[in-house]
Structure 1
Amino acid sequence: MLKRTPKLKVSGKDAQSFLQGQLSNDIDKIANGEWQLNAYCQHQGRIIALMWVQKQGDDFYLDFAPDLQTVVHNRLKMFALNAEVIFSEVNHQENPAEGAQVTLATSEKFIPQDLNLDIDEVGVSFTKGCYPGQEVVARVHYLGKPKKRLYQFECDFEVLPLDKITLEDDTKTVGTVLNQVKYCFFAVLKIAERGQTLFINNKPIKLLELTDFSH
């Protein structure tokens, strides 16, 4: 488990039920002290923030990309309505990402299946009930088949979020960079193209493995 740095504390009598209706995973199943992966989606099922949630007593701590602090805080407050919840910012330290992460640049670009959150329901529950975007996410799960997945790649040069992965002729985009961590990066790639020779800006990249959030 990577070290988590909470950005927002959610407390109050309705904290658990409020988050249960906002996030993609089953908040009611979090054990005290445990971190659970979630997607915070908009109504079209696109991920605003990739979010790790920890329960401590009756309070919940949320960890997500630092540059999404204002976006997440304001949106949660907007949907709180009459719920008895209190939001407190708890950490402004911008630690570099240690794994796959949705940032401001990639917010609302991908659905949970693109980021493998449906695999073994590691970040999405298909039995918990409603949350923003739930109908779209469920439709893909039950009626479709994911055409893209999140993979880890190796490269010896800098890549940027939303950089395009192409085939050798550089005319067909087959993937999109999520974020870079040191000498590797994470990108959403069309499953059908994973056996091809892949490039970013005409430079070859090496596919390492499917990204696994379960450990």
Structure 2
Amino acid sequence: MITQLTSRTLLKLSGNDVQTFLQGQFSNDINALEEGVVQINAYCQHQGKIIALLWVMRQNNDYYLSFPSDLKAIVTQKLNMFKMMSDVQITDLSDEIIQLGLIDDNVKGGLSNFKLNQQQSLALVKSADKFDLSDQSAWGKACIDNAIAEVVLKTSEVFVPQLLNLDIDELGVSFTKGCYPGQEVVARLHYLGKSKRRMRIFECDSAINVADKLLVLGSKSTKASGIVVRCVKLEAKFLCLATIEIEHEDKEITLNDAQGARLTKIA
């Protein structure tokens, strides 16, 4: 199954200093990135909040960054600001290269394929004309099934990596790689104990939107008990990834207010 990912920016970074530069910017271990795979990275601000969640790929000595297009200006500005005098060139390939999301599929013919997980991969192609494309909901469901979080403009600087489960098995955070923006905060949260909130999968009979709040009656939190991270409509139901207080994850959860639609945790 192949889906065209129409709302993602693609940046190419090259130059003699590019690996060292990215190693000092992102949460995962860029030095350990192999060709043919997607490495998930958090681009954090100094308080450890995620500005953008990036899919990083390497081909020869070049690196490719894929992320939601509504964050392009923010990410590009931040990269340019920190590269300073480094030998790093940043090229926007969004209008030249098409990104395809593959589910239990592959494409051939000299194309670039990068494995995201056991079920999903990303292909970078010049044209999608010869492919039989499926709709976006199939890809969205696969991302939710595989707990692939997304950060968009309205949720930028909302989550620390632990809220999106990026610390589990060091999926998106390396705790041995060294410094990057926000590293001290992220590491402190990791070594001080377990996160009180985690990302889970929910379903609902009513419409769900990214950044909607999850509320639990009886929670003492001064903020919402959780936040919707990504969602997809599947026939009559909506499926979503959302953060939730672990203490209350199996209680009655409603959307946005106490009289809101009820969410059911399924994983």
Match of 1:185 in 2: 240
Determine which of 38, 43, 57 is the counterpart of 2:41: 38
Q: Which residue matches 1:212?
A: none
Cα deviation for residue 168 of structure 1 reads 4.9
SS at match of 1:77: helix
Whole-angstrom CA distance in 1 between matches of 2:220 and 2:26: 37
**Structure 1 pair 146–171 and aligned structure 2 pair: CA distance change class (3 A):** closer
Q: Establish whether residue 106 from structure 1 lines up as the match of residue 155 from structure 2.
A: yes
2-side partners of 1:105 and 1:44: how far apart?
18
Q: Which runs of 5+ in 2 are unaligned?
A: 101-135, 144-148
2:14 pairs with one of 11, 16, 32? 11
Cα deviation 1:100-130 (Å, max 9, x = unaligned): 3100000000100010000010110000000
Is this contact kept in 1: 2:16–2:88, CA < 8 A? yes
Whether the 8 Å CA contact 2:9–2:69 is kept in 1: the answer is no
Residues 132, 171 of structure 1: CA spacing in aligned structure 2 closer, same or farther, 3 A cutoff?
A: closer
Distance 1:103 1:86 in 2: 25
Q: Indicate the structure (1 or 2) with the bigger Cα radius of gyration.
A: 2
- Structure 2 SS opposite 1:195: coil
Match of 1:200 in 2: 255
The 1:59/1:159 distance shift into structure 2, 3 A limit, reads same
Greater CA deviation, 173-182 or 132-141? 173-182
Distance in structure 2 (CA, Å) of the matches to 1:123 and 1:170? 29
Give the drift of 1:17.
0.7
Q: Which residue does 1:55 correspond to in 2?
A: 58
Cα separation, partners in 2 of 1:171 and 1:142, compared to 1, 3 Å: closer
Aligned counterparts, 1:26-175, within 5 A: 26-91=29-94, 98=140, 99=143, 100-168=149-217, 173-175=224-226
CA distance in 1, matches of 2:25, 2:240: 29
Measured in 2, the distance between the counterparts of 1:199 and 1:94 equals 35
Q: Which stretch of the first structure deviates more once superposed, 90-99 or 157-166?
A: 90-99
Structure 1 stretches of at least 4 aligned residues deviating more than 4 Å after TM superposition: 2-6, 92-97, 168-172
Tell me the distance in 2 between the aligned counterparts of 1:101 and 1:129: 24
Q: Which moved more, 1:97-106 or 1:167-176?
A: 167-176
Cα separation, 2, equivalents of 1:148 and 1:131: 23
Q: CA RMSD in A?
A: 2.3
Q: CA deviation at 1:33?
A: 2.1
**Count of aligned positions:** 208
Instruction: Out of 85-94 and 142-151, give the one that drifted further.
Output: 85-94
Change (3 A) 1:45 1:169: closer
CA distance in 1 between partners of 2:218 and 2:99 (Å): 38
Q: C-alpha displacement at 1:171, in angstroms?
A: 9.2
CA drift of 1:156 comes to 2.6
Secondary structure of 1:105's partner? helix
Q: Is the 8 A contact 2:219 2:225 kept in 1?
A: no
Deviations 1:67-123 (CA, angstroms, capped at 9, x unpaired): 111110111100001110011111157995733310000000010001000001011
- 1:170 to 1:195, Cα distance in 2 relative to 1, 3 A: closer
Whether contact under 8 Å (1:112, 1:118) holds in the other structure is yes
Identify unmatched segments of 5+ residues in structure 1. Answer: 210-215
SS of the equivalent of 2:241 reads strand
* 1:198 alignment partner AA: I
**Residues 142 and 55 of structure 1, relative CA distance in 2, 3 Å threshold:** same
1:181 maps to a residue whose letter is: V
Distance 2:190 2:219 in 1: 32
